[in-house]
Amino acid sequence: MCETTLRVRYAETDQMAVVYHSNYIIWFEVGRVELLRQLGFSYLEMEQDGLNLPVVEVKCRYKHPACYDDEILIRTRLTQMRTSLLRFHYELLRKSDGRLLAEGESVHVVVGKDRKRTHLTGKYLNAFHEAAEVAQTLAHPDTQPATQLTEQS
């Protein structure tokens, strides 16, 4: 799991100083990119190696509003890993009181420079596999890791 923080900027809010809904999706990306860095590489590095992770599905459940100048804690974890598909889960919390503001997930397929589906290899496969096992252990400490290293989608 990766935790990172950000502070709500005025430009991210509406006239009532409440965060506009699409910004939550952007914050999911902030968390995902930081998780990749925690795994030992950047998204830019993946792109330079010919791999991209386009979003094919995203969900967000809004619980409570975030407001201007709130400090937001973004928790990101990998919840599903296949050789050509990744699923991330996100929690956005107000840091001052720990209140859950939103939670969601995004699903990504692995594609090459030609935009055709491909598979994770080498260091990326190993790093994501390890992250999925850790997330599974944290979510269900009494069960065995259930990561899937198949070619299924």
Domain boundaries along the sequence of the chain:
2-139
Give the dihedral of Cα atoms 87, 126, 52, 42; nearest 10 deg: 100
The CA-atom distances, in angstroms, between 65 and each of 12, 28, 61, 62, 72 are 12, 16, 11, 8, 11
Q: What is the residue type of 110?
A: V
| Per-residue pLDDT at 153 | 45
In 10 A of CB 39, how many CB atoms?
17
Tens digits of residue pLDDT in 110-146: 999 999 999 998 899 999 998 888 877 766 666 554 4
Model pTM?
0.87
Residues annotated as catalytic are 14
Determine whether 111 is exposed, middle or buried from the number of CB atoms within 10 Å of its CB (0-12, 13-18, 19+). Answer: middle
CATH classification of 2-139 is 3.10.129.10, yes or no?
yes
Nearest to 74 by CA among 23, 108, 110: 23
pLDDT in tens, 42-56: 999 999 999 999 999
> In the numeric block, which tokens belong to residue 108?
């990504």
